[in-house]
C-alpha cells in the first residue's frame, strides 16, 4: 500500500541526472511546468545520482510544510470544520504520492484572498496554482458565477486577465523553447483511455464497452457544470459570497474528477480542503465521514488491485475493484448532495441580486 512518484520519477525522468524536465520529447515529466520546476530544483540539491531516499525525504519535508500551511489556510477560511482536513485518513495516506500539495495550498490561498475581496492577489495565486496542477482551472467557474452575479464585470475581466497572464508567464518560455516536452502533459491527458479509479474504468471492468471516451467525459462534465450553475442561481441570494464560492468550488472539482478519464487516489487532496471550507452545518459531518470512509476503502483497494499485477499473494479481482470505485464515487455524490440540500434549506438575509432564478437574473441584467 505504498507508492510515490517522488522516488519513482527521480530516476525514470532523469531528475537524478539534473536534466531539465521538458528537454526530452519522449521522457518529459507528465506534470505542468511549475511542478516540473519543483522536481528539477529539488533534484539539483541532491548530488548523488543514486540519492532516491534523500530526494524523497527533501520533497516529503516540503510537502509536510505545505500540508500544515493548507490546514492553516482552511482554518482561516472555515475554522469550525478545518480540523477535519488534517485528520482524514485517506488524505494522510495520499500525502506523498506526488507533488499535488503545492497546487492545493496555492489554490486555497487564492480562495482565501477571494473571500476577502483581494481580487488581484487571488487571481495571481490561482494562475500560479494552475501552472502547478491543472485542476484549479475549474475554480474559475465559481469566480465567473459570483462576480458576474454581483455585476462586477470589470473585476471579473481583470481577474481572468491576471490569472491568464500569470499562467502564461510560467508556460510560454517553456512552450517556446521545449514545445514538444511541454506539450507532453496535455498530449497524455488527451490521448489516454479510461484509467485507474475512473467511472469509465469501472464500467469497462464490468464488461461494458464505451466509445468516444473524450466526448463522453466532456459531455458529463458540461451537463454537471450546467446543473451547478442552476443550483448557484437558486441559492445565491440566501448565502454569503464566501459560502457560495466554497460550495461551487468543491462541486466543480468533484464533477471534474468524477467525469475524468482517471481518478487517482491523491485527488482526495484536492477535494477534502474544499469540502471542509464548503461545510456550514454540523449535521454535514456524518456525510463527510461516510465519504471519507469510501475514500479510505478505495485507498486500500487501489493498491491491492495493483498488487495482483506484481505477483503478490493477495490482490483484488477486477470486478471487486470496480465495485470499490463505484462505492468511492457514490460516497462523494452523497456528500455533495448533502451540501446541496443544506444550501437549499438555508435562509437568512438576501445578498447580491434579489432574483433567485436564472431567468429572473437575466431579465434584471437586461434592464440594467
Q: Write out pLDDT tens, residues 233-266.
A: 999 888 888 899 999 999 999 999 999 999 999 9
Q: Examine residue 265 and state whether it is found in any structural domain, yes or no.
A: yes
Give the per-residue pLDDT at 358.
46
Residue 36 lies in a domain: yes
Q: Is residue 200 part of a domain?
A: yes
Inform me whether the pLDDT recorded for 313 exceeds 80: no
**72-100 mean pLDDT:** 96
**pLDDT of 9-33, one tens digit each?**
999 999 999 999 999 989 999 999 9
Could you report the per-residue pLDDT of 68-82, keeping only the tens digit for each?
999 999 999 999 999
In a domain, 367, yes or no: no
d(C-alpha 55, C-alpha 44), whole Å: 10
> According to the model, what pLDDT value does residue 238 have?
84
Q: Is residue 72 part of a domain?
A: yes
Least confident piece of the model among 46-50, 86-90, 127-131, 356-360: 356-360
Q: How far apart are the first and last CA of the chain?
A: 58
Task: Kindly state the DSSP code that residue 260 receives in the 8-state scheme.
Answer: S
pLDDT number for residue 312: 77
Q: Would 164 be classed as within a structural domain?
A: yes
Kindly tell me if the per-residue pLDDT of 357 is higher than 80: no
pLDDT of residue 367: 40
pLDDT higher than threshold 80 for residue 51 = yes
How many domains in the chain? 1
| DSSP secondary structure letters along 313-355 | S----HHHHHHHHHHHHHHHHHHHHHHHHHHHH------S-S-
CA–CA dist 142, 286 (Å, integer) = 26
Res. 67 pLDDT band, cuts 50 70 90: very high
Q: How far apart are CA 1 and CA 226, in angstroms?
A: 38
Task: Determine, yes or no, domain membership for 338.
Answer: yes
The length of the chain in residues reads: 368
Whether residue 366 is contained in a domain is answered as no
253, 270 Cβ separation under 8 angstroms? yes
Lowest pLDDT segment from 82-91, 273-282, 299-308, 356-365? 356-365
The domain of 48 spans 5-361
Model confidence at 269: pLDDT above 50: yes
The answer, as to whether pTM is greater than 0.85, is yes
Amino acid at each position: 500500500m505504498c507508492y510515490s512518484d517522488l522516488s519513482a520519477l527521480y530516476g525514470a525522468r532523469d531528475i537524478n541526472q539534473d536534466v531539465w524536465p521538458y528537454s526530452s520529447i519522449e521522457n518529459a515529466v507528465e506534470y505542468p511546468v511549475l511542478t516540473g520546476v519543483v522536481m528539477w530544483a529539488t533534484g539539483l540539491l541532491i548530488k548523488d545520482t543514486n540519492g532516491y531516499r534523500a530526494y524523497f525525504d527533501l520533497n516529503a519535508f516540503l510537502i509536510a510544510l505545505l500540508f500544515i500551511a493548507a490546514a492553516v489556510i482552511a482554518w482561516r477560511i472555515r475554522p469550525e470544520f478545518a480540523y477535519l482536513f488534517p485528520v482524514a485518513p485517506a488524505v494522510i495516506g495520499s500525502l506523498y504520492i506526488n507533488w499535488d500539495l503545492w497546487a492545493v495550498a496555492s489554490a486555497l490561498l487564492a480562495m482565501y484572498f477571494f473571500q476577502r475581496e483581494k481580487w488581484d492577489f487571488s487571481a495571481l495565486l490561482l494562475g500560479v496554482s494552475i501552472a502547478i496542477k491543472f485542476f484549479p482551472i475549474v475554480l474559475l467557474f465559481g469566480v465567473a458565477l459570483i462576480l458576474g452575479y454581483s455585476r462586477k464585470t470589470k473585476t471579473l475581466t481583470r481577474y481572468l486577465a491576471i490569472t491568464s497572464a500569470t499562467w502564461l508567464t510560467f508556460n510560454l518560455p517553456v512552450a517556446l523553447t521545449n514545445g514538444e516536452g511541454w506539450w507532453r502533459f496535455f498530449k497524455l491527458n488527451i490521448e489516454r483511455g479510461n484509467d485507474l479509479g475512473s467511472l469509465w474504468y469501472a464500467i469497462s471492468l464490468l464488461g461494458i464497452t464505451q466509445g468516444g471516451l473524450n466526448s463522453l467525459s466532456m459531455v458529463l462534465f458540461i451537463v454537471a457544470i450546467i446543473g451547478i450553475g442552476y443550483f448557484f442561481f437558486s441559492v445565491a441570494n440566501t448565502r454569503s459570497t464566501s459560502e457560495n464560492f466554497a460550495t461551487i468550488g468543491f462541486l466543480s472539482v468533484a464533477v471534474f474528477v468524477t467525469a475524468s478519464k482517471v481518478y487517482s487516489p491523491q485527488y482526495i487532496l484536492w477535494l477534502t480542503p474544499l469540502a471542509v471550507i464548503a461545510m456550514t452545518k454540523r449535521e454535514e459531518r456524518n456525510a463527510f465521514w461516510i465519504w471519507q470512509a469510501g475514500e479510505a476503502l478505495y485507498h486500500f483497494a487501489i493498491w491491492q488491485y495493483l498488487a495482483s499485477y506484481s505477483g503478490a499473494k493477495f490482490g483484488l479481482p477486477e470486478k471487486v475493484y470496480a465495485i470499490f470505485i463505484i462505492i468511492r464515487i457514490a460516497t462523494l455524490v452523497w456528500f455533495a448532495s448533502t451540501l446541496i440540500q443544506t444550501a437549499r434549506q438555508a435562509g437568512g438575509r438576501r445578498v447580491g441580486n434579489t432574483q433567485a432564478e436564472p431567468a429572473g437574473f437575466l431579465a434584471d441584467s437586461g434592464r440594467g
